[in-house]
């Protein structure tokens, strides 16, 4: 059952990451050149931030796993003991 919890947490984290990534994409498509501003203002660090924005779905899935482990860790430990 814990794999269902982890799968659900990863799925929700992935969907949230995709939604936030889509917001940045739509912002860039609407004429606000967010990516160019980051690169022009911060240089290499701006490019790093853009790569992190592109990786938001994967980061969201990982954070979903961590959140489920944090929230239901005690129940998972009780399953192993019992």
Sequence ranges of the domains in the chain: 2-81
Burial code (b: 16+ CB inside 10 Å, e: under 16) for 25-56 equals: eeeeeeeeebbeebbeeeeeebeeebeebeeb
* Chain Cα centroid distance, residue 26: 18
Pure H helices in 1-82? 2-29, 34-42, 44-54, 56-81
- State pLDDT tens for residues 55-65: 999 999 999 99
- State pLDDT tens for residues 3-27: 899 999 999 999 999 999 999 999 8
Select from 73, 67, 35 the least CA-distant residue to 52. Answer: 35
pTM, entire model: 0.80
């Amino acid at each position: 059952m814990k794999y269902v919890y982890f799968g659900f947490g990863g799925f929700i984290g992935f969907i949230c990451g995709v939604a936030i990534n889509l917001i940045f994409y739509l912002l860039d498509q609407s004429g606000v050149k967010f990516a160019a501003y980051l690169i022009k203002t911060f240089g290499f660090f701006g490019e790093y931030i853009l790569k992190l924005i592109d990786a938001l779905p994967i980061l969201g899935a990982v954070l979903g796993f961590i959140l489920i482990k944090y929230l239901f860790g005690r129940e998972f430990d009780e399953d192993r003991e019992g």
